[in-house]
Chain A
């Protein structure tokens, strides 16, 4: 079942010479973990803003959770949650007051002037979530006294308190330490497993997208690829055997004799597409190193940027 359906979306900002998002189309199915990857300025945040109804589109048709984002914006908003790329907390309120504000706007409970007067269901939920992400001690402190990482965790609690069907995460772990990143992903996976929440992720930590169901690569406003991480890796990179022997010359001669392509870069690297087992079985030279290198999504992503010239542009 399609939960996000984007057809020919175009967004050109006022005064811009070219569209930021240029005729893109993709589908995200219910319960899917979807990653939208691309370099800075590729159009990721613009797309998320349009999907969450906070930015108007120039043209195109979009349905989120079965609702048209233009004609049924309110219904769309009911179904989505978002962690914005930039913090969107009120620094003059406490952490809990920010959560209360959000919960009340989403109709989770009636407003009360203090935490103690809020319904027990709300209080328990906030305390539970605060414990999960580790900000229970900071819950009643003003936002301006919290670190960037703590503020991010607070935004995570806020985005989940109304249990959205679709959760948009726009670089959610930016500024978080490794332990917090891990605990956040464990929690998001738990939410996903328990409630079938669809996750739409943009991130610059490509390893976070390694286990997604589908990945879309966007560059200069256009989608370059939209497939599973495995297929993307296969299309951009090959698997490699990393070999070495006491007598490396014998090994390279044998590989040449067998007609196997290889490169020497510290070790002997043999790319392959079929079975690693077959290659190893045919070698007679005694090996001192034998490793299989599985390309990561990050390798594929860097390769994608290389091919599109973005890495060179960045280096210059």
Chain B
């Protein structure tokens, strides 16, 4: 028998980073092996951006003191990141069904690394969907300068992490695919309408104001719009908060959601 022992890497940091990359790579591999998933994530922007967005542009853009096309493009880009990441997180239910979650949870790594890897893996499909949104936007005559696109691309992992962490709070507890699909709708639809993705929320008040302030997507959208509209006269009409406030809010809400979501996930798998 040959030498059995492979040397373990001892650095805790290396182990956790390696776990994040490994779990993420698995989801990306599975995504690339599934042409139907790739096609759907590219086709979704046609419906979201082309149909819903196009209709809104034609019927709602009048009377606004800013370009609704750019406003909506940013909304759809971020909405797509949140929506596809959330959908990707439902694969945790599939992993539960095939007992793959047990394989992950019996390994000597942080549960946070597993969840973050899972979110970033789901983010790959979301970023593909973002590319689809940009292409549809081009056909609708909405252009995004390359510099702004690269800034959004650089921010997209943080935004996917934020959306995925929020999704974990619900999906982490669900062990049934049908329930998970309903959960996706419950998570994504209110955010789409309440966080200002396609409808401005600068005049929201009461309960709606509280809800949109609690949603991480509100700050992701506002931060992205701050990048897009920086230096333009429309900035004050579109952007609600200082980018630093947005960034701090995204990080804080993501950390809180991640802690709660990871606890729910690990707890529900272990406590039967």
Query: Which A residues have a C-beta under 8 Å from some C-beta of B?
Result: 13-14, 52-56, 74-75, 77-78, 80, 82, 84, 86-93, 97, 100-111, 113, 121-122, 124-125, 128, 132, 160-163, 187, 190-191, 194-195
**CA of A88 to CA of B105, assembled, Å:** 11
Contact in complex: A111, B22 (CB < 8 Å):
yes
22 pairs, A vs B, C-beta closer than 8 Å: A53-B270, A54-B270, A55-B270, A77-B106, A84-B99, A90-B30, A92-B34, A93-B30, A104-B19, A104-B21, A106-B8, A106-B107, A106-B108, A107-B8, A107-B10, A108-B8, A109-B6, A113-B25, A128-B1, A163-B5, A190-B1, A191-B1
Interface residues of B in 10-35 (CB under 8 A from A): 10, 14-15, 18-19, 21-23, 25-26, 29-30, 33-34
In the assembled complex, which residues on chain A have CB atoms less than 8 Å from the CB atom of B271?
A: 14, 56
**CA of A263 to CA of B153, assembled, Å:** 85
CB of B203 within 8 Å of the partner chain: no
**CA of A92 to CA of B94, assembled, Å:** 11
**Knowing A84-B99, A91-B98, A113-B25 touch, does A77 contact B272 (C-beta < 8 A)?**
no
CB distance from B137 to the nearest CB of A (A): 31
Contact in complex: B103, A194 (CB < 8 Å):
no
Contact in complex: A88, B22 (CB < 8 Å):
no
Chain B: interface residue total (CB-CB under 8 A): 39
**CA of A128 to CA of B25, assembled, Å:** 25
CB distance from A88 to the nearest CB of B (A): 4
**CA of A181 to CA of B41, assembled, Å:** 45
CB of B231 within 8 Å of the partner chain: no
**CA of A14 to CA of B26, assembled, Å:** 33
In-complex Cβ contact of A93 among B8, B26, B104, B109 (8 A): B26
* Closest A residue by C-beta to B105: A54
**CA of A104 to CA of B117, assembled, Å:** 13
Contact in complex: B6, A103 (CB < 8 Å):
yes
**CA of A128 to CA of B5, assembled, Å:** 12
Contact in complex: A111, B25 (CB < 8 Å):
yes
* Closest B residue by C-beta to A76: B108
**CA of A86 to CA of B104, assembled, Å:** 14
CB distance from A271 to the nearest CB of B (A): 44
CB of B7 within 8 Å of the partner chain: yes
**CA of A92 to CA of B25, assembled, Å:** 13
Contact in complex: B26, A107 (CB < 8 Å):
no
**Knowing A13-B272, A88-B98, A88-B99 touch, does A105 contact B6 (C-beta < 8 A)?**
no
Contact in complex: A90, B100 (CB < 8 Å):
yes
CB distance from A78 to the nearest CB of B (A): 4
Contact in complex: A82, B1 (CB < 8 Å):
no
Inter-chain contact total with CB atoms closer than 8 Å: 122
In the assembled complex, which residues on chain A have CB atoms less than 8 Å from the CB atom of B33?
A: 92
**Knowing A56-B271, A124-B2, A125-B6 touch, does A104 contact B106 (C-beta < 8 A)?**
no
CB of B9 within 8 Å of the partner chain: yes
**Knowing A84-B102, A102-B107, A105-B104 touch, does A97 contact B29 (C-beta < 8 A)?**
yes
CB distance from A210 to the nearest CB of B (A): 23
**CA of A91 to CA of B217, assembled, Å:** 34
**Knowing A93-B26, A162-B8 touch, does A105 contact B102 (C-beta < 8 A)?**
no
**CA of A93 to CA of B102, assembled, Å:** 17
CB distance from B32 to the nearest CB of A (A): 10
CB distance from B264 to the nearest CB of A (A): 14
Interface string of B240-257 (1 = CB under 8 A from A): 000000000000000000
**Knowing A54-B105, A55-B272 touch, does A89 contact B100 (C-beta < 8 A)?**
yes
**CA of A93 to CA of B25, assembled, Å:** 11
Given contacts A53-B270, A54-B106, 15 further A-B contacts (CB under 8 A): A13-B272, A54-B102, A75-B108, A88-B99, A88-B100, A88-B103, A101-B22, A102-B103, A107-B14, A108-B6, A109-B6, A111-B21, A124-B2, A125-B2, A187-B1
In the assembled complex, which residues on chain B have CB atoms less than 8 Å from the CB atom of A100?
A: 22
**CA of A89 to CA of B104, assembled, Å:** 10
**Knowing A92-B34, A124-B2 touch, does A105 contact B25 (C-beta < 8 A)?**
no
In the assembled complex, which residues on chain B have CB atoms less than 8 Å from the CB atom of A122?
A: 6
**CA of A56 to CA of B19, assembled, Å:** 24
**CA of A99 to CA of B135, assembled, Å:** 38
CB distance from B266 to the nearest CB of A (A): 10
**CA of A113 to CA of B21, assembled, Å:** 10
In-complex Cβ contact of B108 among A78, A89, A194 (8 A): A78
CB distance from B261 to the nearest CB of A (A): 19
Contact in complex: B4, A191 (CB < 8 Å):
yes
CB distance from B167 to the nearest CB of A (A): 21
Contact in complex: A194, B98 (CB < 8 Å):
no
* Closest A residue by C-beta to B270: A56
**Knowing A14-B271, A88-B100 touch, does A53 contact B2 (C-beta < 8 A)?**
no
Contact in complex: A82, B108 (CB < 8 Å):
no
* Closest B residue by C-beta to A78: B108
